[in-house]
A and B are shown apart, each in its own frame.
Chain A
Amino acid sequence: MTTTTAPATPPAVEPDPVPPVPSGQVGHRRRHGLLLHVGLIVGLLLMVGPFVWMILGSFKTTGELRRIPPTFIPEDPTTGNYRELFDRLDFPRYFFNSTVVALAVTAGNLLFGSMLGYALAKLEFPGKRVLFVLMLATMMVPAIVTFMPLFVLVSNLGLANTHLGLILPFLVGALGAFLMRQFISTIPDELLDAARIDGAGEYTIFFRIVLPLCGPALATLAILTFLGSWNAFLWPLVVASTEDMYTLPVAIALFAIGQQETNVALQMAGSVVVVLPVVILFVAMQKYVIQGVASTGIK
């Protein structure tokens, strides 16, 4: 859990190539290798299959989707589902809500998380250890524990059904501070001491030296926080009570629950719209997601 990533040499996620095989075992190895690859490909099909089926299904008519035996490739591809979806639901609005909330939550976690991370890693102040332990302890607390008090708090502040109500409770997280603390600990003290001797204040050091060195950690934290917020479901479902405050997952979920099994093709198209931005972001920043998960185990 306390694996750290050094700024100078980020851990190589790529493993070393297979070691050379002793010649006597080549035949055995080859059969073994074939089995391995077949297994991997079957596994990949099972993992990605539902997504492919979803994308293909979004171009089918509901009639075709419900046919037995099922078709795989759309017989008569149509974009009608997407057009109907955008006609019936205010997608630009949901997209805007999801984006605003996710960006604000990400910005908060980056700034406040790295500030606390710096204080915990490099500064001495009373209460530091207690703070760190308390922060880590809250990571075991199930989300449902704070759900009710948070709802009452946000309602009493008059923030129910507002963007702020969706953002504020998630502006800081223990995981962000933890990740940043681990990373900043690996920055050599000498570097900071040298700047102090040159007369730099702690804020200058933080913004001009520490943060620029934290690129990989900040990228990891940013993408993970953004994904988490984009996919968040329960809190927005309860806090956003009118349609103009819905985030994408809430809108799709309520639409799907309302439709049940009647209009499955539309639901497929809706899911594609929710998933697509995440997939693009994830593919583009794959390296940082995987690094982050591997080093801290967070989503």
Chain B
Amino acid sequence: MTAELSGSAPAVTPLVPLVPQRNRRRAWKQALIGWSFAFPFVALFIVFLAGPILVSFITSFTDLRSTDIRSPFGVNFVGFDNYVDVFTDPTFRKAAVNTAVFVLFGVPLTMVLGLLAAVALNQGVVKIRKVFRLGFFLPYVTSIVAIAVVWRLLLGTDAGLVNGLLDLVGIEGPGWLTDTTYSLPSLIVMAAWRNLGFSMIVFLAGLQAIPTDMYEAASVDGATSWQAFRRITVPLLRPTLLFVSVITSIGYLQFFEEPFVMTQGGPLDSTLSVSFHAFNQFSFGNYGYTAAVSYVLFLAIAIFAFAQFKLLRPKT
């Protein structure tokens, strides 16, 4: 079809208008057509995304509460008061530390497991690779609610499967979700389990872009598998690593649904995240404060993503 159509007419035929006025009319028409395609998206985008982002920013400098929605004239600008409140709030600090721990341990764990799975899948089992890929990826596309139900039962203190198995070998398992020492690590492991399929798929795509003759050459030169991995795979996978790292960090910095359905942030706020804290304040009706917390998170995400681009950018 391509060949037929482009064969029947010259490839490039800009109609050169002789009169400048016609030129302007054409430009107008072009702009109109372009915007007619963009308009439905842009209108919805402004109302439901860009607008709310802006409103949230403005709100973070006001003392807006849910009770003020009907009579917005009682709302005052309070400068940076909300931000000061955020940083002096011990609950926020706790949530910020939890979120940082979640990201700093969760992202590397997820990526290492995803890379391991990708490298393994890229080497063996050609025939049933699809089955493995499906299995590893399944948790990623499953509702967090269903996962939470199952994992809560897996990690239950008395009747959980994990502690039941530990009991068989004579170990008394801890309260994975009810002990403040184990609650956050448990959620990190669960998140890694759930998300490693994503890294695996992206890494697999990246691995396939590496020409196999590079490995053959290395093998002829007597390189071990580990050397080949260190010297060929990792450097060539650098852009993919950066991409997965940025995407996973952006997701993990917002982590929320896991503690929401698994632990409700407890015990003793040990799994409360920044997003969760903002959501709680939203439920209490403290809209100004909510907006400030969410903008602090936004800023953290932007800085984190930017830093990774700086650090991990492929060297030229």
Q: Which residue of A lies closest to B239 (CB)?
A: A1
Q: Is B232 among interface residues, defined by CB-CB distance under 8 A?
A: no
Interchain CA distance A278-B197 in the complex, whole Å: 16
CA distance A12 to B204 in the complex (A): 11
Contact in complex: B294, A145 (CB < 8 Å):
yes
A43 to B45, CA, bound (A): 41
Residue in A131, A135, A153 whose CB lies within 8 Å of B52: A153
CB-based contact A293/B37 at 8 Å: no
Q: How far apart are the CA atoms of A135 and B45 in the complex, in Å?
A: 9
State whether the Cβ of B137 lies closer than 8 Å to any Cβ in chain A. Answer: yes
Q: Which chain B residue lies CB-closest to A112?
A: B41
Asked if A286 and B291 sit within 8 Å, CB to CB, the answer is no
Encoded as 1 (CB less than 8 Å from any B CB) or 0, chain A from 255 to 298 comes to: 01100010010011011101100110011001001100111010
What residues of B have a CB within 8 angstroms of the CB of A123 in the complex? Answer: 30, 33-34, 37
Which B residues are in CB contact (< 8 Å) with A294? 201-202, 204-205
With known contacts A112-B41, A293-B198, A48–B135 Cβ distance under 8 A? yes
Given the known A-B contacts A69-B164, A264-B153, are A145 and B295 also in contact in the complex, defined by CB atoms under 8 Å? yes
Q: Please indicate the chain B residues that have their CB under 8 angstroms from the CB of A44 in the complex.
A: 131-132, 135-136
Contact A40 B125, CB 8 Å, known A22-B219, A194-B6 = yes
Confirm or deny: A13 has a beta carbon within 8 angstroms of a beta carbon on chain B. Answer: yes
Q: Is the CB of A148 within 8 A of B120?
A: no
Interface residues on B, range: 35 or more
Residues B201 and A113 in contact, CB atoms below 8 Å apart: no
Bound complex: CA A51 to CA B197 (Å): 15
Indicate whether B23 reaches chain A with its CB closer than 8 angstroms: no
Q: Which of A37, A128, A271 contacts B149 (CB 8 A)?
A: A271
C-alpha spacing A177/B253, complex, angstroms: 24
Distance in angstroms from A190 CB to nearest chain B CB is: 4
| B212-A16 in contact (CB<8A) | yes
Known contacts A13-B205, A116-B41: A138-B11 contact under CB 8 Å: no
Question: Nearest Cβ in chain B — how far from A175, in angstroms?
Answer: 11
Instruction: Let me know if B307 is at the binding interface, CB within 8 A.
Output: no
- Chain B window 277-314, contacts with chain A (Cβ cutoff 8 Å), 1 for yes, 0 for no: 01100100001001101110110011001000000000
A67 — which chain B residues lie within 8 A by C-beta?
159
Whether a CB of chain A sits under 8 angstroms from the CB of B154 is yes
Check: B316 CB closer than 8 A to any chain A CB: no
CB A247 to nearest CB in B, in angstroms, measures 10
Which one of A73-81, A85-93, A230-238 is at the interface? A230-238
**Closest residue on chain A to residue B293 by CB atoms:** A144
B84 interface residue (CB < 8 Å to A): no
The secondary structure that dominates the B interface is helix
B254 close to A125 (CB less than 8 A): no
Query: CA separation between A234 and B55, bound complex, in Å?
Result: 20
With the chains together, A12 CA to B120 CA distance in Å? Answer: 18
B268 interface hit (Cβ, 8 Å): no
Given A197-B9, A233-B257, A234-B257, check contact A138 B53 (CB 8 Å): yes
Q: Which chain A residues border B260 with CB–CB below 8 Å?
A: 234
Task: Please indicate the chain A residues that have their CB under 8 angstroms from the CB of B126 in the complex.
Answer: 17-18
**Hey, what's the 0/1 contact readout for B1-43 against A, CB within 8 Å counting as 1?**
1100110110111000000000000000011011101101110
* Pairwise interchain contact B143-A230, C-beta atoms closer than 8 A: yes
| Inter-subunit contact B161/A282 (CB<8 Å) | no
**Contact residues in B for A231 (Cβ distance below 8 Å):** 141-145
Q: Which residue of A lies closest to B127 (CB)?
A: A17
**What size tier do the contact residues of chain A reach?**
35 or more
B129 within 8 A of A: yes
CA gap between A22 and B218 in the complex, in Å = 12
Chain A residues near B159 (CB-CB < 8 A): 65-68, 70, 261, 264
Closest CB in chain B relative to A88 CB, distance in Å: 16
Kindly report which residue of chain A lies nearest to residue B243, judged by CB atoms: A1
Q: Which of B38, B47, B215, B256 contacts A131 (CB 8 A)?
A: B38
Instruction: Encode B62-94 as 1/0 by CB contact (under 8 A) with A.
Output: 000000010000000000000000000000000
> Does A26 count as interface, using CB distance less than 8 angstroms?
no
Query: Are B124's CB and A40's CB within 8 A?
Result: yes
Q: Quick check: A289 and B141 within 8 Å, CB to CB?
A: yes
- Measured between beta carbons, the chain B residues less than 8 angstroms from A14 are 129
| Contact indicator B34/A124 (Cβ below 8 Å) | yes
- B6 x A188 contact (CB < 8 A): yes
Select one of B12, B49, B207, B212 contacting A19, CB under 8 A: B212
The residues in A between 39 and 55 inclusive whose CB is less than 8 angstroms from any CB of B are 39-40, 43-44, 46-48, 50-51, 53-54
Residues of B133-158 whose CB lies within 8 A of A: 133-154, 156, 158
Nearest residue (CB) in B for A134 is: B50
Q: Does A146 contact B (CB under 8 A)?
A: yes
- Interface check A253, CB cutoff 8 A: yes
Residue B167 is within 8 A (CB to CB) of chain A in the complex:
yes
A133 interface residue (CB < 8 Å to B):
no
Closest A-B pairs by Cβ, 4 of them: A125-B34, A149-B52, A271-B146, A294-B205
Seen from chain A, the residues whose Cβ lies within 8 Å of a Cβ on chain B are 1, 3, 8, 11-19, 22, 25, 32-33, 36-37, 39-40, 43-44, 46-48, 50-51, 53-54, 57, 65-70, 108, 111-113, 115-116, 118-120, 123-128, 131, 134-135, 138, 140-153, 155-156, 168-172, 174, 177, 188, 190-191, 193-195, 197-198, 202, 206, 227, 230-231, 233-234, 248-250, 252-253, 256-257, 261, 264, 267-268, 270-272, 274-275, 278-279, 282-283, 286, 289-290, 293-295, 297, 299
Supply 5 A–B pairs (Cβ within 8 Å), ascending by A.
Answer: A1-B243, A11-B205, A118-B37, A172-B41, A267-B153
